[in-house]
Amino acid sequence: MRHSAAHVMAAAIQRLFPEAKFGIGPTVDFGFYYDIDLGRAVTPEDMGKIEKEMKKIVKENLEFERSEMKLDEAIAMFDSLNQPYKVELLKDLQEKGTTKISGDEMGDIDPENRDKATVYKLGKFTDLCRGPHVESANKIGFFELFKIAGAYWRGKEDNPQLQRIYGLCFTTQDELDDYKKMLEEAERRDHRKLGVELDLFSFSPLVGSGLPLWSPKGTVLRNVLDTYVWELREDKGYSRVAIPHITKKALYETSGHWAKFSEELFKITTREGHEYALKPMNCPHHTQIFDSKPRSYRDMPQRYAETTMVYRDEQSGELSGLSRVLCITQDDAHVFCRKNQIEQEAYAIWDIIDKFYSTFGFELNVRLSMHDPDKFEKYLGTKEVWEQAEEQLRSMVKKRGVEYVEAKGEAAMYGPKIDFMGKDAIGRMHQVATIQLDFNMPVNFGLACINEQGEKEGVVMIHAAIMGSIERFLSVLIEHYAGAFPVWLSPVQVMILPVADRHIEAAKELALKLKENGVRVETDDSAESVGKKIRNAEKGKNPIMIVFGDKEMESGDLTVRRRGDKDQQVIATNEFIDSILKQIADRV
């Protein structure tokens, strides 16, 4: 329905603006979009006209007509229709067998039909598309156009900027209305807006897009989360390791990344002409730590953990806040184990994931991400090895007793994975953690241990990410909490508000006492009124405020205001400290 709605929108645009040139029009989770080139900006008035025309097409109940033609014929046809973006895609398909466009619904060409293109007609509108579609326009459901954005053609900054028109599409009007309410709430919680308001991170045009700069408060968030993950891992027997941020080309040639991941690598050529790359992932480096000395079965498993930045040359048009960046801080871990240890190690990681995400109130769903047998050239290894690895994961998930779905084509290039999808406070699903089973990279590097019989035995790798990308996880978490973090996580846990200048010195003594007990505290010693100080503290979403005046100086008791609670509490200082330390320790 959503895919068909994109075509209905494009057909409406063509009726209203015959000069329009079309890029791509795929589906997204909530609906669809289409990238178009009108030679000018699309206005809100245009949006209203397009939606009205779409409703006319629905009433006319035009049918979707599918046909196939040779690529040469398709190129000639779209050239005659003055659709240069379609022609470019077709020529890429003809020459390379793929369009290499993120989100492009055409995807890769069918290897058995490399000389054919699939075309759909809706009235006078003709589109290059693999399908499928509903039978006719009146079956596209309930829709509404809701947003215009700029989008560089193929996500590259030096290409023309097109207009991306987004539409919502649902089976019922109630579903559409509910989603619109959720969008309003999501806009209020947008991490890009809250990140600035709460002074967590910023971006600099001199540094570049996709390269966030973390303020002291934002850095506290990163460190507190990373410490929590490490505590959980240390309890399961992990050891910390550290690796450099660059590597010789040879490492990624051996791992297979240079051949299959080369476009996303930042490459470096030294003054002596040697080729290096900024690391886009840590696993190849970690294999070399394992392989640095002989390993006995008694040494197995080896569990390495490291929080470090990796770098990926994402297309500039795809960068978005913390959700899509060029530098990704991974809370990465790799387990090198024997095949008979896979289950116990994977379940230990699963225990960590359950514990970590339950702390934030996330409801987790499980997705088993498998390879796409029709595109096996994207993967390392043999089909037999993939079938073995996938069956082992499937068996483990079933044994764990959880419901799961399987997703073809979502595997990593080196192995299948268990992906955990978390539902946030407003009902959106995010991929959060992952457990990946890798039989292939250890073979490429010849990794082995000596077994009980004194023979070499190949080992297996398990890739484990709890947060995955700290940047992306924080984009989710900021919006999950709408910036109002719980006490244990909040960058400032207590804000002390002296009523007048004569109270500042004693307030700072209290702050020092709290700091000595490990509490993150600030004192607002500005010349503002206490009412203004309270409003500023509430705007900063500080969880606990202490109003400090004559009574507090004389009695030693504290007047405590908690975020979201209109009532104040009077409590003895030591009792307050014990209470907040328990909240922090228990991660309430």
154, 189, 303, 463: the catalytic one is 463
Contact 403, 343 (CB under 8 A): no
Residue 163: inside a domain, yes or no?
A: yes
Tell me the β-bridge partners of 437: 462
Handedness of CA 438, 442, 444, 445 (dihedral sign): positive
* Whether 217 and 265 share a structural domain: yes
Phi, psi at residue 434, to the nearest 5°?
-150, 145
* Whether 322 and 211 share a structural domain: yes
Handedness of CA 259, 263, 264, 268 (dihedral sign): positive
Question: Quick check: is 438 catalytic?
Answer: no
CA angle 78, 84, 90 (to 5 degrees): 65
Report the pLDDT value the prediction gives residue 111, as an integer from 0 to 100.
45
Q: What is the CATH number of the domain that holds 543?
A: 3.40.50.800
Residue 489: inside a domain, yes or no?
A: no
Residue 579: inside a domain, yes or no?
A: yes
User: How many Cα atoms are found within 13 Å in the side-chain-facing hemisphere of 148?
Assistant: 15
Question: Quick check: is 235 catalytic?
Answer: no
Q: Collapsing DSSP states into helix, strand and coil, what is residue 529?
A: coil
Residue 488: inside a domain, yes or no?
A: no
Report the pLDDT value the prediction gives residue 155, as an integer from 0 to 100.
81
* Whether 509 and 433 share a structural domain: no
169, 283, 337, 449: the catalytic one is 283
Contact 390, 444 (CB under 8 A): no
Residue 486: inside a domain, yes or no?
A: no
257, 285, 417, 503: the catalytic one is 417
Phi, psi at residue 147, to the nearest 5°?
-160, 145
Please report, in tens digits, the pLDDT of each residue of the chain (588 residues total).
999 999 999 999 999 999 999 999 999 888 999 999 999 999 999 999 999 999 999 999 999 999 999 989 999 999 999 999 999 999 888 877 655 443 344 444 444 555 788 899 999 999 988 888 999 999 999 999 999 998 889 888 789 999 999 999 999 999 999 999 998 999 999 999 999 999 999 999 999 999 999 999 999 999 999 999 999 999 999 999 999 999 999 999 999 888 888 888 999 999 999 999 999 999 999 999 999 999 999 999 999 999 999 999 988 778 889 999 999 999 999 999 999 999 999 999 999 999 999 999 998 999 999 999 988 988 999 999 999 999 999 999 999 999 999 999 999 999 999 999 999 988 889 999 999 999 999 999 999 999 999 999 999 999 999 999 999 999 999 999 999 999 999 999 999 999 999 999 999 999 999 999 999 999 999 999 999 999 999 999 999 999 999 999 989 899 999 998 888 999 999 999 999 999 999 999
* CB-based contacts of 134, cutoff 8 Å, min separation 6: 1, 4, 64, 140
* Whether 411 and 455 share a structural domain: yes
Sheet (strand 557-562) strand order: 521-523, 494-498, 544-548, 557-562, 568-572
Which of 93, 95, 85, 91 lies closest to 109, judged by CA?
Answer: 93
| 578 C-beta neighbours (distance < 10 Å), count | 13
Report the pLDDT value the prediction gives residue 114, as an integer from 0 to 100.
59
* Whether 213 and 153 share a structural domain: no
Contact 467, 225 (CB under 8 A): yes
Alpha-carbon distance of 52 to 237, in angstroms, equals 62
Report the pLDDT value the prediction gives residue 156, as an integer from 0 to 100.
82
* Whether 440 and 499 share a structural domain: no
Residue 445: inside a domain, yes or no?
A: yes
Q: What is the DSSP letter of 100?
A: -
Residue 487: inside a domain, yes or no?
A: no
Q: What is the CATH number of the domain that holds 235?
A: 3.30.930.10
Q: What is the CATH number of the domain that holds 70?
A: 3.30.980.10
* Whether 17 and 102 share a structural domain: yes
519: left (phi over 0), alpha (psi -120 to 50) or beta: beta
133, 257, 279, 334: the catalytic one is 334
Report the pLDDT value the prediction gives residue 98, as an integer from 0 to 100.
56
Of 146, 168, 188, the last residue of a domain is: 188
Q: How many domains does the chain have?
A: 3
* Whether 67 and 210 share a structural domain: no
15, 312, 561, 563: the catalytic one is 312
Alpha-carbon distance of 256 to 412, in angstroms, equals 12
46, 127, 332, 524: the catalytic one is 332
Domain holding 49, by residue range, is 2-188
330, 392, 436, 493: the catalytic one is 330
Residue 382: inside a domain, yes or no?
A: yes
* Whether 473 and 533 share a structural domain: no
Question: Quick check: is 394 catalytic?
Answer: no
Question: Quick check: is 417 catalytic?
Answer: yes
Question: Quick check: is 245 catalytic?
Answer: no
Of 188, 219, 247, the last residue of a domain is: 188
Of 481, 504, 530, the last residue of a domain is: 481
* Whether 477 and 523 share a structural domain: no
Report the predicted TM-score, pTM, of the whole model to 2 decimal places: 0.82
Question: Quick check: is 312 catalytic?
Answer: yes
Question: Quick check: is 341 catalytic?
Answer: no
* Whether 70 and 144 share a structural domain: yes
* Whether 182 and 256 share a structural domain: no
